[in-house]
Each structure stands twice: as structure tokens, then as C-alpha cells.
Structure 1
């Protein structure tokens, strides 16, 4: 499969024995929306629900940290996922959270993983079929192998700032990057990592929720001052929308990208990390 698949392609493939469709919708705290309930009310036929709020490292005080290998394998097996399947992820969230599901599945060794271009919003706008409820699941055999090299931690980011040579792109809205709006989680200082570039994840999409491609996508990075000739670290609030930047970079053929999993939830809470404000 391509990294992105169209709604038409997916509808034509529904029911294929090796295909699994995954709803990975996630919302920010305080949004007033419940992803699981919305999934149960309506989803693409046969789609499974991947709970990104639960598939985390429960021993970490930080939100959405990558879970241990055994936990990820167990959760994917309980969803009926198995080695060798084609996986298509989608969401119905302004966070474009399917990118996080794509990143985690790839991080743990799945290779045939694509995102549905336009997500559930485009699917519904085109009048394609929906169903409700929860499908019956049969446990699968999913082998998880964590690629630790794809994950950046706080020490790595601090080192990258000191040595230079890395681009750091922040996927949060410009007002949060600048420190003008409060963070949705308590206890965090406002602002951003010094030297990072503001690249709100929403700028990587067209008006119909489809991904920008080619020159238009490259221009989104360039307009934010991100030099894709350098290796890239993507960051955000808790590692969710940073995955949008990782996916966008992959669409442009860029592989030397890491995701800072702790993101501002870690950096902004640490009194010893340097912080900057303003839009420059």
C-alpha cells in the first residue's frame, strides 16, 4: 500500500481477509468529546477502535508515552491484529491522531500501514457506508519489535540543542508555541524549546481534511523555516500531533526523523530545561 490511501480505494477493499481498518480518534483533555462513544455510534464498517489514551506506558507520569513492547503486542493481539496484515488507520479528530497510530504501529514493526486520506470526515461527506456498535474480535498474533532509534527523549533533545545540526519542529498551534495561550494540562510553563520551529500540524492539510502533497506539503515545512536537509525531531504537547509532522516528512521521502515522546508535557514541566516564548 501507499502511505496514504483514498476513501474510494478503501471502500473497494473492505472485507478483504488481510485488511484491518482502525479508528484511532483521540481528543484533547477538556474537549467534551468521547472518542470511544463516537466510534460506537458510527464508524467505517469492520473498523476496530485503538484507544490511544490507554495504549501507553502506565508507569510513566507523562501522558501518551510509548508503552512497553509486551503491552503493545498484547493490545494489538486483543484487537485481532496479526503479522502480515494490511492496516489502514483513520480518525475523526482535529488532532489528526491517526498519525500517532501509524507511527506506533511502524515503531513496533508493522510495515503495511497506511492512513486514510481525509479520515472519517471525508468518508462521511462522500456518503460512504457506516456501521455502529462493536465488532466481534478474535485474538491475533502480532509480533512487536520496538525501534528505539525512532524515539527521542529529553536528554537527546537537550544534546541536539547543544550540538546543533538538528531541526526541531513543534506541531502545536502558534499561540501555544508562543506562550500566549495556556497548555491544556496543568503544571506546564508556557512557550517552546529554544530554537525550535513552529509548524502547526493543521497547516499540513487542505480544506477538505486531505493531506497536502508534493510542493504544497514541502512549502508548509519551508514556510515554517524547517530545513528538511537536516535530521528532524518532531515535538508537540504529548507526542500525538508530533506524529503528524513525522508522517508529513515521510510523505516527502524523509526518513531521518525522530519523535520526542515526552514533548512539552515533559519539557515544560521541568524547571531546569530552557524555555522560550514569542513567535519569532
Structure 2
């Protein structure tokens, strides 16, 4: 395995803020119980020149599931309106340091953006270092984006069922341990807690510290500690497909490319009458 870092430093971004081929994307999103609003925080303060990627709006709203991937046509129109065009480089950040930015990063990659990175430490590190910010709506000229969805890296419920039924593909869940075990409620009304039978649990906060991904050595140790076999394919999942992307970033950082991300994640599985396991 060859490790590759999906991150870029605040120093690098500060030096390249005015690069004409670079788009800075604020991908902030927060769980409903947090009381935080990513769009409102963006309007109050964001990195100069950034545009806001709303994962709840740039989504397929016909499924009843949260922030599912939209069609390529809808995605192309939405990101084109943000000024993200073909051939541009993208740096994504979020207001938590490292939470929702990986989901936006993965989504952009899935639809064909070749050069997309995550700002290490996100907005908290940028502000802590006293770097410039601005407020108000984004102002960027529309662009043309040619969306091509790589469906091979998107797991649907059928692919996950196949993984559960077999012994080759592993399912790795990023939710907190108590929700995985079924001893704490899910944040979304009407969704039972528990987990996909046979899946493994690596809560994302075990590998994210102070807004940064832990070292590759610690990522590897955490994965092995929960029983993941690095020689077998992995599908990442979580509550709604957001923190599953953190697991993706972590795996990629040690050179283990995941097979796919389960877009519907637990929100779909638990509401579809599928088997639910509980206890660790």
C-alpha cells in the first residue's frame, strides 16, 4: 500500500489564495442536535473567496433520506453556479476542523473533480493563526462543470446486503459506539439505533483529534484494533454518509483505498426493514 495525504496546509492555502485556478469551498455541516448552522456561520465569517457547498441542498431530495448524491445533471448545475468549473483545483474546509469537509471532498471526487484537497485543521486552525476572513455571500462567476459520477465508489443498499451475506467485503461504521451498540438514540427521529449485522465500529472521534486526522500510524492501529483486515475490501458507513467519508480519508491516508461509501448509510438501512444488530 502507498499512502497519500488528502490534506493541504493553511500555510499553502494562504500563499495561494489568489491563484486563478483554485476554488475554496466551505463544506460546513453540523448534526441537528448541535444547534449550529453551517450556512449562517459561512455568512458571518469565511476564508476569502470561498463559496458555500450545502450538502443538504446539493442533494437528491426525492428519496426522503438526508443529503443523498444528486444526479450528475443536478450536481453540474449546482456546482457550476458556485463557480466550480472543469479543470479547476478545489480546497475544501469546514467549521469543525474535520467533520463534513471529507464528505464534500468525496462527493467532488465522485463526480469527477481531479484535484481536490482538504484544509488541514479547517476554519478553526485558520482563525487561530490570525489569517484573513470575510463575511457575506460568495461572489464568484458561474462556470461549466461536466459531471461524471463514478458509481463504482458509491455503495447502495443492495451492495451492502451482499457484503453482509458474504465474507469478503467488510462494513466499517463511523458512528459513536453507543449508537452502534443500540444503547443510545439516533439523532434523527424515527430511526432505531444499532448496526448492520457483521459490521465493525470505528467512531470517527477516535481518529480525529482537535480538528486533525491522527497520524497514519495511529490510524492503522485504530483500524486493526477494531478488527479490520487491511487486505480485504471495505465499505464505509455512518448515520447519513457524512462521517463515513472521514473513514474514507483515514483509510486513504494509509494507502488503503476503500471499495465504496454507503451513501444511504444507517438512515436508509434502519428505515428499510433490514436486520438490525445490537450490543458491541
Unaligned runs of 5+ in 1: none
Residues 204 and 243 in structure 2, CA contact (< 8 A), matched pair in contact too: yes
Of the candidates 227, 245, 248, which is equivalent to residue 246 of structure 1?
248
State which of 219, 226, 231 in structure 2 corresponds to 1:217. 219
Q: Which runs of 5+ in 2 are unaligned?
A: none
Instruction: Report the secondary structure of 1:30's partner residue.
Output: helix
Distance 1:49 1:89 in 2: 10
Corresponding residue for residue 237 of structure 1: 239
| Aligned partner of residue 213 in structure 2, secondary structure | coil
1:169 Cα deviation (Å)?
Answer: 0.6
1:117 aligned to which of 116, 120, 123 = 120
Aligned to 2:279: 278
Asked whether 1:11 is paired with 2:6, we answer: no
Q: What residue number does 1:269 align with?
A: 271
* Alignment correspondent of 1:260: 262
Deviations 1:183-212 (A, max 9, x none): 111221220011111111122223x32212
In 1: Cα distance, 2:109 partner to 2:27 partner: 14
- The CA deviation at 1:213 is 2.7
**Equivalences for residues 42-53 of structure 1 within 5 A:** 42-53=45-56
Report the alpha carbon displacement of residue 34 of structure 1 after superposing the two structures with TM. 1.2
Q: How does 1:141-220 map to 2 (within 5 A)?
A: 141-206=144-209, 208-220=210-222
CA distance in 1 between counterparts of 2:59 and 2:98 reads 17
Shift of 1:93: 2.9
CA RMSD, 1 decimal: 1.4
Q: 1:31 aligns with which of 19, 30, 34?
A: 34
Is contact 2:51–2:139 with CA below 8 Å preserved after alignment? no
| TM-score for the superposition, normalised by structure 1 | 0.95
What TM-score do you get using the length of structure 2 for normalisation? 0.95
